[in-house]
């Protein structure tokens, strides 16, 4: 994947399910998000879940299904790595590696990912200051790797009406302080599908370079994060609306 060409096409939208659940699910979603105008497919093969009893992902089988979706649609793959032992495996399949909010201060993991030379989406930790977030990015930079996209995904505050508090202040701030591309994940930032579209548009209006959106064929049946996922029609509607921003 040509990383420079990818981030130049703004706003770039990465869309797909929280977790890869089946061949039909990921292929159907890949076709739908591509037809709607997304530039990349997201999908979790390894899932960090708060409860050990929740769906943890399909592992390597999920990576293989993502590769099938890429072969059919041509969409680059974005997927998360959780463990230093899986970095090479994930890099074998992924075009862009995601570091999730729970792993942003896993410094050995950051160093291992930097060795792959795969572009990295570095999510903000849910209780992380901007200084701590940029220090985490420095762990990747110190390894000679500068293909970094910073992703705001909401922070934990005293407010409980939404899953997190989406901090859009940070978008223009990061634009002042860094040269990295900055994207926003309104799915995790709000936790509610009804809020995803307005916050996605707000993110672009304040200067975000792109969006990370959760999309599922049937959010009510999703094995993870269904309440914050858009169905195909809602995602297509959003993609039409953001062209005017």
Q: Where are the alpha helices (DSSP H) in the chain?
A: 3-8, 23-36, 60-73, 87-93, 107-116, 130-141, 170-177, 186-190, 193-205, 232-242
In this prediction, residue 177 carries a pLDDT of 95
From the options 3.20.20.70, 3.40.50.300, 3.40.50.1470, 1.10.569.10, give the CATH code of 3-242.
Answer: 3.20.20.70
In this prediction, residue 154 carries a pLDDT of 97
Quick: pLDDT tens for 170-206.
999 999 999 999 999 999 999 999 999 999 999 999 9
Instruction: Name which of 9-13, 23-27, 47-51 the model is least confident about.
Output: 47-51
> Above 60 in pLDDT, residue 54?
no
Determine phi and psi for 203, rounding to 5 degrees.
-60, -45
CA distances from 91 to 67, 82, 120, 147, 179 (A): 12, 12, 11, 14, 24
Quick: pLDDT tens for 133-168.
999 999 999 988 999 999 999 999 999 999 999 999
Residue ranges covered by each domain of the chain = 3-242
Mean pLDDT of 35-50: 87
Q: How would residue 35 be classed by pLDDT, with cut points 50, 70 and 90?
A: very high
Quick: pLDDT tens for 112-128.
999 998 999 999 999 99
Strands 120-123 and 210-214, sheet pairing: unpaired
How much is the pTM?
0.94
CA distances from 114 to 7, 20, 99 (A): 19, 25, 11
Task: Give the integer Cα–Cα distance in Å for 137 and 150.
Answer: 8
**Residue among 46, 19, 58 at smallest CA distance from 229:** 19
In this prediction, residue 141 carries a pLDDT of 95
């Amino acid at each position: 994947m040509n990383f420079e060409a990818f981030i130049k096409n703004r706003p770039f939208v990465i869309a797909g399910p929280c977790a890869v659940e089946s061949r039909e699910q990921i292929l159907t979603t890949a076709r739908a998000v591509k037809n709607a105008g997304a530039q990349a497919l997201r999908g979790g093969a390894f899932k960090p879940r708060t409860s050990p009893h929740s769906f943890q992902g399909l592992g390597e089988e999920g990576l293989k299904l993502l590769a099938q979706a890429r072969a059919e649609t041509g969409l680059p793959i974005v997927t998360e790595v959780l463990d230093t032992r899986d970095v090479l495996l994930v890099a074998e399949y992924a075009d862009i590696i995601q570091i999730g909010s729970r792993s942003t201060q896993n410094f050995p993991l950051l160093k291992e990912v930097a060795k792959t030379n795969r572009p990295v989406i570095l999510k903000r930790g849910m209780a992380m200051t901007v200084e701590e977030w940029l220090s985490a990015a420095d762990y990747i930079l110190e390894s000679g790797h500068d293909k970094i996209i910073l992703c705001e995904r909401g922070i934990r505050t005293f407010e409980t009406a939404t899953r997190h508090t989406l901090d859009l202040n940070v978008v223009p701030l990061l634009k002042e302080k860094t040269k990295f591309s900055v994207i926003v994940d309104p799915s995790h930032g709000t936790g509610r599908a009804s809020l995803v579209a307005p916050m996605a548009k707000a993110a672009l209006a304040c200067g975000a370079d792109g969006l990370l959106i959760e999309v599922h064929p049937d959010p009510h049946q999703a094995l993870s994060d269904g309440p914050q996922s858009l169905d195909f029609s809602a995602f297509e509607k959003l993609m039409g609306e953001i062209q005017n921003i």
